[in-house]
Chains A and B, each alone.
Chain A
Amino acid sequence: MRRERICGLLLLALIWSLLVPLAHAGEVVLIGHPALPRLDRETVERIFTGKVVEVGGIRVTPIDMPVGDAVRNRFLVRWLGKDEEHYTAYWTVRRYVGKGVPPQEAANTAEVIRLVTTRPGCIGYIDEAELRAGLNVVAR
């Protein structure tokens, strides 16, 4: 009886350990400078593809996470519908037709938070688990 209870607890722990990271991995939230309004998915996509540079009269500056970052990969797939290869290829073309350069890259989540809280117009994305009080969530 005792042995069965231990096995049950271990099984529960295993399921929990598998499900919790998955739940967190699914959530990428967009945060922006406090003056920025809520944004819809289409606007987010257009900001990160260089088609929108101004929202509600505010000049926006998108911030990416570095290439290879797991949050970046999730953001690209879920918000832009692209993988890294397509996103890079998109910006390579855009750069060489003289239509601008890809978003600036922050080194990590802490830098994204620092930039969006201190620089007017900055918009970045972080894992929902990194959210803290006072951050302006512009899209989720």
Chain B
Amino acid sequence: MNSLIRLVTLCVATLAAVPVVADDLRWSGFGTVGYARSGNEFRYQRFIDSDGTLTRDSLFGVQADAVLTPEVSATVQVRLAPAGNSDEEWNVRLPWAFLSWRPSNELTVRGGKLRIPMLLYSENIDVGTTFPFARLPIEIYSILPTWDFYGLSVGRNWMPGNLDVDLDGFAGWAHGTWRVHLRDAPPQLGVQPGSWYEGISGAFVGAILTVREAESRYRFAALAWDAQLDTLQFGVDYPYVQVAPGVGYYQVDNRLPGPGVQMKDRIRFYTLSAGLEQELQAGFRLVGELAWRRSERIGLASGTNSLGSYLALLKPIGSWTPYIYGAALRSSDHARTLYSSLDRSRLPAAVPGAAVVNASQTGAADSALVFDQRTVALGATYAVGRGQVVKAEWQRTRIGLVSAFYDAPLGVSSGGQKIDVFSLSYNFAF
């Protein structure tokens, strides 16, 4: 609570100070009131279940842009949204709080709290009127645990012929969270079943190339992040401990009997992405993105090595824009094999300590954060006025082996689940 008060105070002080030094101060705001409901009893994407929720997609923000000198401007954005580290709370954050220096047409330098511009819509992910879907496909937009960072961004622009080319380099420090849902876990090892948010933070560096031609846009990005987990540790390898012929378990914790497991709490991610927005014949529009994530230092025990993608076809017709997209997210073969091995690993109840061991196997399988899912979505947006858009969407997600986005209870596997989600939202920006 104290940190919230400090943050609100900081926001108010910052926003109040801007007019004093600004030549030109502009205020703007945005928001989404979004309802989502699935046909499933258990939660998907943190909040969506058969009870329906306003929490998954709703948020509100205010932004101040101030011109301090002809070359220097300041931007502060304050956002009220469901907390990134709690299923219950909302909080106030500053996604943007930066100074921008643009000494010429070609060069822009920004420093402060910024957004990682890796994907087509990752900078404006909170502003529903600025992207064409009811909800950005989670198969891609979960590729990083946060889109916010503290640091520096340097952009260079060229405009050869009809092209508009931007090359942006950025570096800084980011802190985010990964939500982990454990169906089971042994309290004896200090872990409880249920959901929690694992903090992850560290320094990163990245580069982005964006090419625009008329209404089409192409983006390629690369990012490396050397991150440390707050509490969670992954085993470099989980040795198999044989109890009897055909009976055994994986040593996922050094407190379990076994030869010992080397645990790591640092991960170096490499993420590559490519995206396009392409004008087609007859007014159709194609939007697609692909992101590949690979981590180092973790040999076996992580589902973070993954490939996500989506491809959408849109057709603006007056105020309407109907769309359809298909999306997929799949962890590496290695990660899926690991998950299967851990999930199937069971000691007979007659073996002393079997309950603890079996719970540890399930807990380790779930904490590996493995994904294997495909989604098809059908929706439409309707511009009801200047800066106001209503969106409706139906999407069906089929989970293959497992999806860490689905809160399966003990005894139920997320594997093979079919999730239908209906979403309706009102989005505004002014």
Tell me the A residues contacting B by CB distance below 8 Å: 46, 51-54, 59, 61, 67, 84-85, 88-89, 92-93, 95-101, 104, 121
Q: Of B114, B126, B386, B429, which one neighbours A98 at CB under 8 angstroms?
A: B114
Note all chain B residues with C-beta closer than 8 A to A95.
28, 63, 65
Docked Cα-Cα span, A121 to B67, in Å, equals 15
Q: List 23 A-B contacts (CB under 8 A).
A: A51-B164, A53-B102, A54-B105, A59-B70, A61-B70, A84-B386, A92-B130, A92-B387, A92-B429, A93-B130, A95-B28, A96-B77, A96-B124, A96-B127, A96-B130, A97-B124, A98-B98, A98-B115, A98-B123, A100-B65, A100-B73, A101-B28, A101-B65
Note all chain A residues with C-beta closer than 8 A to B123.
96-98
**Candidate in A46, A99, A121 with the most chain B CB atoms within 10 angstroms:** A99
Note all chain A residues with C-beta closer than 8 A to B204.
none
Within 8 A of A (CB), among B99-145: 100, 102, 104-105, 108, 110, 114-115, 117, 123-124, 126-127, 129-130
Q: Identify the 7 closest CB pairs spanning chains A and B, nearest first.
A: A97-B123, A96-B124, A96-B127, A59-B70, A101-B65, A93-B130, A101-B26
Total A-B pairs, Cβ < 8 A: 62
Interface of B is mostly: strand
Docked Cα-Cα span, A88 to B129, in Å, equals 11
Docked Cα-Cα span, A113 to B21, in Å, equals 27
Docked Cα-Cα span, A89 to B115, in Å, equals 20
Interface of A is mostly: mixed
Q: Is the CB of A93 within 8 A of B124?
A: yes
Chain A residue at minimum C-beta to C-beta distance from B157: A51
Within 8 A of A (CB), among B373-400: 383, 386-387
Q: Is the CB of A46 within 8 A of B102?
A: no
Chain B residue at minimum C-beta to C-beta distance from A120: B70
Docked Cα-Cα span, A53 to B108, in Å, equals 11
Chain B residue at minimum C-beta to C-beta distance from A50: B102
1/0 per residue B71-105: CB within 8 Å of A?
A: 10101010000000000000000001010101011
Q: Is the CB of B96 within 8 A of A85?
A: no
Note all chain B residues with C-beta closer than 8 A to A46.
159
Note all chain A residues with C-beta closer than 8 A to B383.
85
Q: Is B24 an interface residue when CB atoms closer than 8 A count as contact?
A: yes
Q: Is B30 an interface residue when CB atoms closer than 8 A count as contact?
A: yes
**Candidate in A53, A96, A99 with the most chain B CB atoms within 10 angstroms:** A96
Q: Is the CB of A96 within 8 A of B30?
A: yes
Q: What 15 new A-B contacts, CB under 8 Å, besides A54-B105, A96-B124?
A: A51-B105, A51-B159, A51-B164, A52-B105, A53-B102, A53-B104, A53-B105, A85-B383, A92-B127, A92-B387, A93-B130, A96-B127, A97-B124, A98-B100, A99-B108
Chain A residue at minimum C-beta to C-beta distance from B215: A86
1/0 per residue B22-41: CB within 8 Å of A?
A: 00101010100000000000
Docked Cα-Cα span, A67 to B430, in Å, equals 13
Docked Cα-Cα span, A61 to B70, in Å, equals 9
Docked Cα-Cα span, A41 to B370, in Å, equals 53
Note all chain B residues with C-beta closer than 8 A to A67.
386
B10 to chain A, nearest CB (A): 19
Note all chain A residues with C-beta closer than 8 A to B98.
98
A66 to chain B, nearest CB (A): 13
Docked Cα-Cα span, A121 to B100, in Å, equals 20
Within 8 A of A (CB), among B140-178: 157, 159, 164
Q: Is the CB of A96 within 8 A of B104?
A: no
Knowing A52-B105, A92-B127, A92-B130 touch, does A98 contact B96 (C-beta < 8 A)? yes
Q: Is the CB of B65 within 8 A of A96?
A: no
Chain B residue at minimum C-beta to C-beta distance from A55: B105
Note all chain B residues with C-beta closer than 8 A to A96.
30, 63, 77, 123-124, 126-127, 130, 429
Within 8 A of A (CB), among B170-225: none
Chain A residue at minimum C-beta to C-beta distance from B67: A101
B390 to chain A, nearest CB (A): 15
Note all chain B residues with C-beta closer than 8 A to A97.
115, 117, 123-124
Docked Cα-Cα span, A59 to B130, in Å, equals 29
Note all chain A residues with C-beta closer than 8 A to B28.
95, 101
